[in-house]
């Protein structure tokens, strides 16, 4: 823009909405007019609609009881908030084999 208008000034830029994240859809406090809504169509995130979910934490120390896993319960709460049905919440020791074995069992039970 410098060759065309060296004193160019851009004003009136604002964030209209933001989707996703912890709070879902955020709309600008001044709102959006009908044309903006039609063009951008902000929408709430889709829920999980009773989807079977599993939370598996991998940690040798947590699986041995050395310390309490806090990430798993946090994920469980988030999945439930989105409408998921948490059918398993487990702490397994580190390693591919324990995880692979459990994922195969969950898949056989219909957990995607």
For 84, the token pair is: 């998921």
pLDDT score of 44? 61
pLDDT score of 5? 80
The pTM of the full predicted model, rounded to 2 decimals, is 0.60
Question: What distance in Å separates the CA atoms of residue 19 and residue 31, rounded to the nearest whole number?
Answer: 15
For 40, the token pair is: 């951008």
pLDDT score of 38? 81
pLDDT tens for the 112 residues of the chain, in order: 777 788 888 788 888 888 777 777 788 888 778 888 788 776 666 778 888 999 999 999 999 999 999 999 999 999 998 889 999 999 999 999 999 999 999 999 988 7
- At 4, give phi and psi (nearest 5°): -85, -45
């Amino acid at each position: 823009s410098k060759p065309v208008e060296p004193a160019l000034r851009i004003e009136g830029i604002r964030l209209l909405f933001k989707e996703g994240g912890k709070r879902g859809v955020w709309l600008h406090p001044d709102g959006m007019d009908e044309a903006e809504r039609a063009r951008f169509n902000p929408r709430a995130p889709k829920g999980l609609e009773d989807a079977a979910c599993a939370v598996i934490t991998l940690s040798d120390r947590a699986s041995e009881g050395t310390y309490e896993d806090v990430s798993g319960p946090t994920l469980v709460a988030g999945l439930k908030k989105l409408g998921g049905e948490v059918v398993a919440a487990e702490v397994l020791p580190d390693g591919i084999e324990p995880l692979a074995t459990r994922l195969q069992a969950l898949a056989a039970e219909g957990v995607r």
